[in-house]
Amino acid sequence: MTENEFEKNVNKNKEIQKRKKDLLLKKVKEVQLAAKQETNQSVDYKKEYEQLLINYTKLKKEHRSLKNKKDKSRAISGKENEINEIVKLKNTIKSLKLTIYKQSKLLEDFKNKSLLFENEKIENQKLSNELKRLSSSQLLHEKESLVVQLETEQAKTDRLKEIIDGNETYRKTQEKKYNRQMGEFGRLKFKSRQMEEELKKKSQIVDNLYNSISLAKLFSLLDERLVYKSVFSFYPLNKLYTKYLRIRHLAEIQEKEEREKRIQQISHQNKIADSSYKDYGFIVKEEDQWYFYDLNNNVYLVTSSKTKLIPDLPASAAIYEDGTAYVFYVYYDSYEENDNNTDNKNHEKKDDAIEKKEGLKFGEDLNILVVGSRNISEYSHRLESHGFNVETHNPFEESYHLIEGKVRRSDIVIVCTSHIDHSIMDFIDKDDQKVELIEKDSSKKILVRARYAAIKLGLIE
């Protein structure tokens, strides 16, 4: 706000105050004039009232004289005239009383108007005092407030100017920084292109070297470089050798299965034809009867077997349409096929050996997930004693959304279907090869199924 605008506002406020003051004075004069008129009228009423009182007194005296005359002339004739006079007198008295009543009302109104006039006079005095006060203090207050407002606006203007100057400086600084970054980006892009070309050349050299060198020569070079100082650099060989043993074992199993299949086709040609199919599972002995459980927990009666049957071991079997099974291979702990000609004594020793080998840590570095709500700690302890890294999930106590991450981290997943909420299967792919479903679970069956799954997936030899 400029100085001229400030002066205009001050002059405008003075004019407004002057108009208010003139209106107030005009109103006071009007009230005083009305009061004066009322006062003049009330004085006329008073004189009239006094005159009426005088007339009333005269009439009263005349009435007394007439009464005396009435008493004296009672015996005289002409009573009718006196009666008429009396009636007239009574009427006159009534009119006088009415006049007196009206005069009393006028006096009462005058008193009320006088009181109202006094109140208005007091109010006018208050308004006059307020007008004087406003004419001095309000203008000063408004002037001070306008000065403060002007100073505030000036401070805001100065602050905005500083912000604009600061923004301009910041913009210039950022523009310089952007130009430097763009230059650096161009240099890095050129350097990256050079490194990519160099990497392609080196990759081509490595590919040519990889294609030209033979495995025998590569092993020879590794053998030459294997010395005391470099022995720790060969730690990946353990993983490579483990993978080699696993693949070799799977190749041997496949070769044995193909051989057994040829033998099976020859010896059981009439029985094993289009009416059977091969399945994986484990064998269980119940009340002197052998049963074969497939991966979906379907149960088949074992009618014959090519090898000795041992409870709770993984096995391969041919499934027939009549619900029976023919076991033609059992996966032992030593991964060796059982000899059909072994006598009962050797077979008992074999069983004892398997029981003793239960403490072997064949599941080292394998992560296994057990899903269930009963005997979980017992199952975990049994699996951990064989080297498995065990993780559990109780669907009645833990969130369903946690199961996805646990399944993703695990190499093998065992689900105890008899004590879970089956809606959890919406979060587990039962068709996944690493998922095993067990209905009648026990610690031994859990261990056997874990070992079988590890063999099937090629995780152990």
Most confidently predicted of 234-238, 304-308, 342-346: 304-308
Nearest to 252 by CA among 337, 181, 173, 364: 337
Query: Confidence band (pLDDT; 50, 70, 90) for 342?
Result: very low
Identify whether residues 294 and 385 lie together within a single domain: no
pLDDT for res 393: 92
CATH code where residue 303 lies: 2.40.50.140
Nearest to 290 by CA among 313, 260, 272, 268: 313
Residue linked to tokens 């050349």: 201
**What average pLDDT does this structure show over 438-457?**
86
Q: How far apart are CA 249 and CA 22, in angstroms?
A: 120
Sequence length of the chain is 461
pLDDT for res 419: 87
Q: How far apart are CA 322 and CA 282, in angstroms?
A: 19
What CA–CA distances, in Å, run from 443 to 186, 251, 309?
Answer: 65, 31, 20
Query: Confidence band (pLDDT; 50, 70, 90) for 271?
Result: very low
Q: How far apart are CA 355 and CA 448, in angstroms?
A: 12
Tell whether the model's pLDDT for residue 269 goes beyond 60.
Answer: no
**Domain annotation covers residue 218:** no
Q: How far apart are CA 296 and CA 437, in angstroms?
A: 6
Identify whether residues 285 and 380 lie together within a single domain: no
Q: How many other CB atoms are there within 10 angstroms of residue 447's CB atom?
A: 20
Q: Which residue has the higher pLDDT, 452 or 210?
A: 452
pLDDT for res 274: 43
Identify whether residues 349 and 397 lie together within a single domain: no
Q: pTM for the complete prediction?
A: 0.31
For residue 296, the SS3 value is: coil
Identify whether residues 142 and 10 lie together within a single domain: yes
Most confidently predicted of 248-262, 273-287, 375-389: 375-389
pLDDT for res 352: 43
**What average pLDDT does this structure show over 363-382?**
87
For 8, list phi and psi in degrees, rounded to 5. Answer: -60, -45
Number of domains in the chain: 3
pLDDT for res 196: 84
**What average pLDDT does this structure show over 206-215?**
67
Q: Which residue has the higher pLDDT, 42 or 367?
A: 367
Instruction: Answer with the one of 335, 353, 371 that is the final residue of a domain.
Output: 353
**Domain annotation covers residue 434:** yes
**Domain annotation covers residue 408:** yes
Identify whether residues 158 and 96 lie together within a single domain: yes
pLDDT for res 75: 53
Query: Confidence band (pLDDT; 50, 70, 90) for 392?
Result: very high
Q: How far apart are CA 307 and CA 339, in angstroms?
A: 7
Tell whether the model's pLDDT for residue 442 goes beyond 70.
Answer: yes
Q: Which residue has the higher pLDDT, 345 or 2?
A: 2
Q: 317 is in which domain, residue-wise?
A: 268-353
Paired tokens of 358: 């239960």
For residue 75, the SS3 value is: coil
Least confident of 16-25, 122-131, 372-381, 451-460: 16-25
Tell whether the model's pLDDT for residue 369 goes beyond 90.
Answer: yes
Identify whether residues 38 and 117 lie together within a single domain: yes
Query: Confidence band (pLDDT; 50, 70, 90) for 265?
Result: low
**What average pLDDT does this structure show over 206-224?**
71
Q: How far apart are CA 160 and CA 153, in angstroms?
A: 11
**Domain annotation covers residue 411:** yes
Query: Confidence band (pLDDT; 50, 70, 90) for 276?
Result: low
Identify whether residues 35 and 151 lie together within a single domain: yes
pLDDT for res 36: 63
Q: How far apart are CA 69 and CA 79, in angstroms?
A: 12
Cβ partners under 8 Å of residue 146, min gap 6: 1, 6, 9, 10
Identify whether residues 43 and 123 lie together within a single domain: yes
**Domain annotation covers residue 448:** yes
Work out whether strand 367-371 and strand 412-416 pair parallel, antiparallel, or are unpaired: parallel
pLDDT for res 199: 84
**Domain annotation covers residue 323:** yes
Q: How far apart are CA 443 and CA 285, in angstroms?
A: 16
What strands, in cross-sheet order, belong to the sheet with 435-438?
Answer: 389-393, 367-371, 412-416, 435-438
Identify whether residues 57 and 155 lie together within a single domain: yes
Q: How far apart are CA 450 and CA 331, in angstroms?
A: 13
Largest interatomic CA distance in the chain:
187
pLDDT for res 345: 41
pLDDT for res 259: 67
**Domain annotation covers residue 444:** yes
Instruction: Answer with the one of 302, 337, 353 that is the final residue of a domain.
Output: 353
pLDDT in tens, 70-121: 666 565 555 667 677 777 777 888 877 787 787 777 778 777 777 887 887 8
Work out whether strand 276-286 and strand 412-416 pair parallel, antiparallel, or are unpaired: unpaired
Where is 278: in which H helix or E strand?
strand 276-286
**What average pLDDT does this structure show over 115-144?**
74
Residue linked to tokens 């009228």: 41
pLDDT for res 177: 85
pLDDT for res 391: 93
Query: Confidence band (pLDDT; 50, 70, 90) for 44?
Result: low
Q: How far apart are CA 315 and CA 325, in angstroms?
A: 11
Average pLDDT, the chain: 75
pLDDT for res 34: 67
Q: Which residues of 41-79 are buried (b: 16+ CB within 10 A; e: fewer)?
A: ebeebeeebeeeeeebeeeeeebeeeeeeeeeeeeeeee
pLDDT for res 86: 78
Identify whether residues 329 and 381 lie together within a single domain: no
Instruction: Answer with the one of 164, 180, 214 that is the final residue of a domain.
Output: 164
**Domain annotation covers residue 341:** yes
Percent of the chain with pLDDT over 90: 6
**What average pLDDT does this structure show over 347-363?**
46
Identify whether residues 9 and 143 lie together within a single domain: yes
**What average pLDDT does this structure show over 38-54?**
61
Identify whether residues 64 and 131 lie together within a single domain: yes
**What average pLDDT does this structure show over 321-327?**
86
pLDDT in tens, 175-199: 888 888 888 888 888 888 888 888 8
